[in-house]
Amino acid sequence: MKGIVIGMANIIPGLSGSTLALILGVYQKLINILTKFDLRLIQLIKSLNINEIQKHISLNFISAILCGIIISFISISHLLNYLFLHFETYTWAYFFGIILVSIYYVGNYIDKFKIAEYLLFLLGLSICVIIFLAEPSMEQNTNLLFVFLCGIIGVTGMLIPGLSGSYLLVLLGNYKLLISETIHRISDPKYYAFDDIYFYLKLFITFLIGHIVGIITFSRIIKWLLNNFKNQTFSLLTGFITGSLLWIWPWQSSYSSMDKNLILFSKISFPDFKDINDLILIAVIICGGITLILIEKIAKKYRDV
Collect all residues with Cβ–Cβ distance below 8 Å to 158 and sequence separation of at least 6.
10, 16, 17, 18, 165, 215
CB 171 within 8 A of CB 180: no
User: What confidence tier does 232 reach under pLDDT thresholds 50, 70, 90?
Assistant: very high
- Whether pLDDT at 123 is above 90: yes
Question: What are the pLDDT digits (tens) for 249-275?
Answer: 888 765 444 344 444 455 677 787 888
pLDDT exceeds cutoff 70 at 14: no
Task: State which amino acid sits at residue 194.
Answer: F
Q: Is 222 exposed, middle or buried (CB count within 10 Å of its CB: 0-12, 13-18, 19+)?
A: buried
Please state, in angstroms and rounded to a whole number, the distance separating the CA atoms of residues 218 and 226. Answer: 12
To the nearest 10 degrees (0 to 180), the angle between helices 50-57 and 59-71 is 70
Give the whole-angstrom CA distance, residue 305 versus residue 299. Answer: 10
From CA 176, how far away is CA 181, in angstroms rounded? 6
pLDDT classification of 71: cutoffs 50, 70, 90: confident
pLDDT digits (tens, 9 = 90+) for 174-202: 777 877 677 767 766 666 677 777 888 88
Query: Which of the given ranges, 20-24, 43-47, 279-283, has the highest pLDDT on average?
Result: 279-283
CB-based contact 53:251 (threshold 8 Å): no
* Model pTM score: 0.69
**Closest to 30 measured CA to CA, from 48, 3, 70:** 3
Segment (H or E) for 294: helix 276-299
Going by C-alpha positions, the residue among 2, 58, 7, 1 that lies closest to residue 26 is: 2
Higher pLDDT, 293 or 162: 293
Neighbouring residues of 271: CB distance < 8 A, sequence distance ≥ 6: 251, 278, 281, 282
Average pLDDT, the chain: 80
Instruction: Say how far residue 29 (Cα) sits from the centre of its chain.
Output: 17
